[in-house]
Amino acid sequence: MAETQDNLLQKIKDQGDLVRKLKAAKESSGKGKSATNSLQDLEEINRHLSKYSYISGFVPSKADVELHYNLENNLDFRKYPHIKRWWYHMQSFSDSERTLFPVNHPSYAIFNVMQGKKRNFDLEIQEEVSKLLALKAQLGSEDAAPSKFVLKTPKGTRDYNPQQMTIRNNVLQKIITVFKRHGAECIDTPVFELKEVLTGKYGEDSKLIYDLKDQGGEILSLRYDLTVPLARYLAMNKINNLKRYHIAKVYRRDNPAMTRGRYREFYQCDFDIAGQYDLMVPDAECLLVVTEILNSLDIGKYVLKVNHRRLLDGMFETCGVPADKFRSTCSTVDKLDKSPWEEVRTEMINEKGVTPEAADRIGEYVRLNGSSELADKLLQDEKLSKNKSAVEGLEGIKLLLHYCELYGIKDKILFDLSLARGLDYYTGVIYEAVLTQPIKIGNEDQTVGSIAGGGRYDNLVGMFDSKNKQVPCVGVSIGVERIFSVLEAKLAAGDISVRTSDIDVYVASAQKNFLEERMKICAELWNAGIKTEQSYKKNPKMLNQLQHCEENGIPLAVILGESELKRGLVKIRNITTRQEDEIPRDNLVEELKSRIEVLDIKEMNGPIRK
Amino acid sequence: MAETQDNLLQKIKDQGDLVRKLKAAKESSGKGKSATNSLQDLEEINRHLSKYSYISGFVPSKADVELHYNLENNLDFRKYPHIKRWWYHMQSFSDSERTLFPVNHPSYAIFNVMQGKKRNFDLEIQEEVSKLLALKAQLGSEDAAPSKFVLKTPKGTRDYNPQQMTIRNNVLQKIITVFKRHGAECIDTPVFELKEVLTGKYGEDSKLIYDLKDQGGEILSLRYDLTVPLARYLAMNKINNLKRYHIAKVYRRDNPAMTRGRYREFYQCDFDIAGQYDLMVPDAECLLVVTEILNSLDIGKYVLKVNHRRLLDGMFETCGVPADKFRSTCSTVDKLDKSPWEEVRTEMINEKGVTPEAADRIGEYVRLNGSSELADKLLQDEKLSKNKSAVEGLEGIKLLLHYCELYGIKDKILFDLSLARGLDYYTGVIYEAVLTQPIKIGNEDQTVGSIAGGGRYDNLVGMFDSKNKQVPCVGVSIGVERIFSVLEAKLAAGDISVRTSDIDVYVASAQKNFLEERMKICAELWNAGIKTEQSYKKNPKMLNQLQHCEENGIPLAVILGESELKRGLVKIRNITTRQEDEIPRDNLVEELKSRIEVLDIKEMNGPIRK
């Protein structure tokens, strides 16, 4: 049923009340009162928007655009909190997005407000009465039509269909294999945390945190990353050593750019090493883990940029930036991967209060990149060599590069003074993996850019400990959404194909009335662990059954026929070669197993194939 | 750093303002004004609770209990919305829970309100000044202590530690293997949906849905199950056929009973077949899938109860229940697995408005259970045989039982007229798997009960389609949280053990200064795909290294020593037998691989071991 009986009766009662109220309003309006009461209308819209995201249906429509345009500019939002929500949401759409909105027909009441028209009570009553009749009709027949709607997922989110899931699971499996090869254990945390846990950890970005509604409980927010929950987990359980990976979705109310893999709900794949260890030993392993992952994903050439927060601090200090501006200057430098130096320089001077002279000195340094020779050179630099923090950073980088050489990944690493990373909590080495070639998708090249990042954060766990006890940590996060979006684009362009089910054998019948025979054979094959499927129809057509096998890449079909069964035989068909062999019914499982084994060996290169 | 410089400076400024305000308040209070203003105090508490879940710290404490007890009963919650949230949340705790709350010291301002005391300005000023000094101290030294807190995850949720994750992943892997053997594809949907998508789908349970806060966007709610998102997905993408599985967390603001595996955030594992097919063919496969899963999880004997909503409807009708009370009567019958018939009868009569005569007639039927003989008998039943709906249900059950026989699972199935299922949306067959034996955990028996459930819902997709186009569906949901909690209890009782990492080889050194040599060997082993670990310390003690291997079940260690290396040799130690063999350094990878292969064959029974 589309509704439970109880629900339906309640709805019919409510709808009846509404019709009665409208009739009363019509009467009183006929007695000379003005029917167009702007305040009343706004309350009506406000009430509607307390229950619905949009004026009409599940998506923003032209009706929303129109109302948004026509609403007074100086509307008192304190009186209309739900209009406020909607208004700011509508503000967030660009003109080009708005042109794509469908034309939805709002209900008459809201429609009249938008048109600035007098209420047409007759029309309204007519409309509501017809709804009432529709509801009553539902009581009798269970398939009365509900109102029209276009469906969508929330802004910045998406479903994963089976092909996308196959790609996603393949990528994640490769990543997990690397994490496990390095002995990482797996943990998970709730999707939401007490709001206080997240407060004060993300600087300016805190405004992007999703909060849960106050429904009479704790104050909760959706997790923004996996790093702060890890720190909370370590402090809460008083854990001093942990090498863990965590693969889960995180939530940011950011401006989505979905085609480029930027969502409001997205996966993070984090690998972190917590514990008091010798300098740069775990840090170098994090870099090795990134190279192993990027190599196994086979998505082109890349470079791992490294830098050190202590070096950045020392550099800012010697350039004449005051200590309280280190972090904000840092987040400006971080924009160098997207903006030219001139723009970054202007922002430093105009928005961050750095002097032009200091900015120019910074500009000299941030253009430098190289290998350990550069670190050696900077250790001789007149100013940096006198700065304790800078020397500490440079010595750290040198040791890290040395360990990377031992790990055989020296040629992948670039010491880059322009790398800064946005987040506040890093305290030591920072790194970022960047693809250096555009990726070919169909006939187009797509630039992907940053694909992994991380660094050392030695003071975050202490923020959660009652005695401020620190657990030093270093970690890396793989930007899998970008990898997914590249592979999905390749799939769409026909560059790769995926199989979304693993079925090896399809049990088909050539004649009618073989359902029960098929069922018995299926049960036998499933029982033997063979991945098997059949049609759920009693009498499927042979052509449809074979077509299903071809469309879904099922390699083998068992074909039942009356004459063969009488002789104790069944046919096995190879879907690709179309060759059919008769074999004894009793040997079926054995025969299929050996054929599948041969096929599996041929397909060892995995389910993603050219 | 524990704080960014900018944040810290802002805090110091705020704290300074607070101290100045307190001093001013002290002065004005000295001028004869009353310092204890109840309204002002309540506003202060309200303000505090707008930012924090509790009076003090991250968990409910004795301070909360005290304030909750002392607050006036007739407080006007409209004026204090944040006190309201907190008040209802405090109401939700039982006395036994409250006795376990820790003693937390609230800030002086809130404390005085609770004590009904006059404000002690000198104490307050002293307190705030000391906070100010602590903040200023942080500017210089980065490790000043923040205020105390006890940490927790949100109510009804938990972290999964590596052992729990290993159990969880093992269980899910077995379930996925069965789903895939039947050709199910995988999909995923966002964790939240537009609220309207969920509205009107869950009946009374809708009050348990988590809503997101209005932050100026769409109106969103966390998903309550995976069935409604599937229906939305099918309708949105106009998909008519799909066999899919979906494993993901869902959210219910229910009363948690965490030791029995009932959480507010919990996993669902759903398998569903959507499409217009022949009667009972997909339905029987769902039952087979459940048996395959329960068999592979090896958690004891079970029975699969089946019933049919059309039979229930027909039964209610012939017993004299009016049509609009079918669903509510159904949800009362559903309680028969926990309550005796007398209680259920009373609820039917007193709360659902069923007549005593009708209830007694229902009582006659719901005590019946059996196999297809029972269905045959009921088809001869004087009343039921004349009811179209009942006959349809009984014929359906007969066909289902026949197919189950063909699938070889007849002995697991029980046709049970007391099975009703709570959810409104089922339209045909319904089923539920129940463990029939308590599970032995340590020396105690634990009763688990229902462990999977599902049924046919043919009208849900149509609720999302603009033309009310139906896509018939049938599916099953595995209650994995109960399975997790059983296995976790077994783990805690020492009945099973798990390995949380897969490491095969540990690279150790017997003398000092072998870090670089260890690194080179690790890189070589990782490169060869061998799961390898080493100490992150430069000069770890031999004993600690071997202890790490034993604690983590690592089977092999490579031990580097100066004298061996000079001779081009390394030692391989079998951790269990403690046997050590010298082998040529150049053969290391090859030798380890063959030893690991032998170990893997011995451990084929998987990572959960007695």
Domain boundary among B390, B407, B436: B436
Q: Could you report the average pLDDT of every consecutive run of 10 residues in chain A (610 residues)?
A: 62 79 69 50 84 79 82 80 85 78 69 59 71 67 44 92 95 97 97 90 84 89 96 95 97 83 92 97 98 93 96 95 88 87 93 92 94 96 95 97 97 96 88 90 81 95 88 96 89 89 94 93 96 96 95 95 93 95 96 93 54
Q: Which of B200, B218, B427 sits opposite A154 (nearest CB)?
A: B218
Average pLDDT of the residues in B453-471: 92
Are A158 and B190 a contacting pair at CB < 8 A? Answer: yes
Higher-pLDDT residue of B417, B259: B417
Q: Which of A114-123, A509-518, B20-29, B238-247 shows the lowest per-residue confidence on average (mean pLDDT)?
A: A114-123
* Exposure string over B160-192, b if 16+ CB within 10 A, otherwise e: bbbbbbbbbebbbebbbebbbbbbbbbbbbbbb
Whether residues A431 and A315 fall in one domain? yes
H-helix or E-strand containing A454? Answer: strand A450-457
Are B536 and A273 a contacting pair at CB < 8 A? Answer: yes
Give the residue from B437, B438, B439, B421 showing the smallest Cα distance to B429: B421
Collapsing DSSP to helix, strand or coil, A194 comes out as strand
Give the residue from A529, A211, A400 showing the smallest Cα distance to B519: A400
Which of B12, B78, B172, B185 would best serve as a mutation to test chain A binding (most A beta carbons within 10 A)?
Answer: B185
Structure tokens at A36: 């167009």
Which of A151, A247, A326, A535 would best serve as a mutation to test chain B binding (most B beta carbons within 10 A)?
Answer: A151
Structure tokens at A379: 């250790």
Q: Which of A372-381, B113-122, B292-301, B303-312 shows the lowest per-residue confidence on average (mean pLDDT)?
A: B113-122
A446 in reach of chain B (CB within 8 A): no
Tokens 């197919």 found at: B403
**What's the alpha-carbon Rg for chain B, to the nearest Å?**
32
Contacts of A214 in chain B (CB under 8 A): 81-82, 85, 213
Q: Is the ipTM of this complex over 0.90?
A: no
Collapsing DSSP to helix, strand or coil, A307 comes out as strand
Instruction: Write down the H helix ranges in B182-280.
Output: 195-198, 227-236
Count of domains in chain A?
4
Whether residues A581 and A517 fall in one domain? yes
Domain boundary among A110, A140, A170: A140
Domain boundary among A105, A140, A175: A140
B562 confidence band (pLDDT: 50, 70, 90): very high
Are A186 and B169 a contacting pair at CB < 8 A? Answer: yes
- Predicted pLDDT of residue A183: 96
A47 in reach of chain B (CB within 8 A): no
- Predicted pLDDT of residue A113: 62
Contacts of B473 in chain A (CB under 8 A): none
- Predicted pLDDT of residue B379: 96
A25 Cα to chain B: minimum distance (Å): 29
Q: Is residue B449 part of a domain?
A: no
H-helix or E-strand containing A352? Answer: none
Are A2 and B244 a contacting pair at CB < 8 A? Answer: no
Rounded (10°) angle between helices A480-492 and A162-181: 140
- Predicted pLDDT of residue A468: 83
- Predicted pLDDT of residue A137: 62
Q: Is residue A587 part of a domain?
A: yes
Whether residues B116 and B174 fall in one domain? no
- Predicted pLDDT of residue B170: 95
Q: Is residue A260 part of a domain?
A: yes
Higher-pLDDT residue of A230, B331: A230
Q: What span, in angstroms and rounded, lies between the C-alpha atoms of A68 and A107?
A: 16
Are B195 and A277 a contacting pair at CB < 8 A? Answer: no
Higher-pLDDT residue of B136, A421: A421
The string of pLDDT tens digits covering residues B71-93 is 777 788 888 888 888 888 888 78
Q: Is residue B424 part of a domain?
A: yes
Contacts of B408 in chain A (CB under 8 A): 523, 527
Q: Which of A88, A215, A403 sits opposite B216 (nearest CB)?
A: A88
Q: Is B135's pLDDT higher than 50? A: yes
A148 in reach of chain B (CB within 8 A): yes
Q: What is the CATH number of the domain that holds B522?
A: 3.40.50.800
Domain ranges, residue A20? 5-140
Give the residue from B383, B380, B408, B413 showing the smallest Cα distance to B307: B413
Q: Is residue A547 part of a domain?
A: yes
DSSP B257: B
Whether residues B236 and B335 fall in one domain? no
Tokens 């203003």 found at: B37
Residues 517-546, chain A: which have Cβ within 8 Å of B?
519-520, 522-523, 526-527, 529-533, 536-538
Tokens 């048996």 found at: B291
According to DSSP, the residues that pair with A265 across neighbouring strands are A251
Q: What span, in angstroms and rounded, lies between the C-alpha atoms of B497 and B167?
A: 10
The string of pLDDT tens digits covering residues A443-482 is 788 888 889 999 999 999 999 987 888 999 999 999 999 8
H-helix or E-strand containing B315? Answer: helix B309-319
- Predicted pLDDT of residue A147: 39
According to DSSP, the residues that pair with A11 across neighbouring strands are none
Are B406 and A193 a contacting pair at CB < 8 A? Answer: no
Residues 6+ apart with CB under 8 A from B178: B289, B292, B293, B296
A589 in reach of chain B (CB within 8 A): no
Q: What span, in angstroms and rounded, lies between the C-alpha atoms of B531 and B564?
A: 24
Q: Considering chain B, what percentage of its residues have pLDDT values greater than 70?
A: 89
Whether residues B213 and B98 fall in one domain? no
Collapsing DSSP to helix, strand or coil, B335 comes out as helix
Whether residues B398 and B512 fall in one domain? no
Whether residues A164 and A282 fall in one domain? yes
Q: What span, in angstroms and rounded, lies between the C-alpha atoms of A397 and A375?
A: 7
Whether residues B392 and B506 fall in one domain? no
Q: Is residue B132 part of a domain?
A: yes
According to DSSP, the residues that pair with B432 across neighbouring strands are B305, B453
Residues 408-427, chain A: which have Cβ within 8 Å of B?
408, 424-425, 427
Q: Is residue A530 part of a domain?
A: yes
Whether residues B568 and B596 fall in one domain? yes
Contacts of A141 in chain B (CB under 8 A): none
Whether residues A421 and A485 fall in one domain? no
Q: What span, in angstroms and rounded, lies between the C-alpha atoms of B494 and B237?
A: 49
- Return the number of CB contacts < 8 Å for A and B: 361
Higher-pLDDT residue of B13, B450: B450
Mean pLDDT of chain B: 87
Q: What is the CATH number of the domain that holds B280?
A: 3.30.930.10
User: Residue A214: what are its φ and ψ, rounded to 5°?
Assistant: -70, 105
Q: Is residue A453 part of a domain?
A: no
Instruction: Write down the H helix ranges in B477-553.
Output: 480-492, 515-527, 542-551
Are B211 and A212 a contacting pair at CB < 8 A? Answer: yes
Residues 467-486, chain B: which have Cβ within 8 Å of A?
467-468, 470
Whether residues A266 and A208 fall in one domain? yes
Whether residues B296 and B307 fall in one domain? no
Q: How many CA atoms lie within 13 A of A22 on its CB side?
A: 19
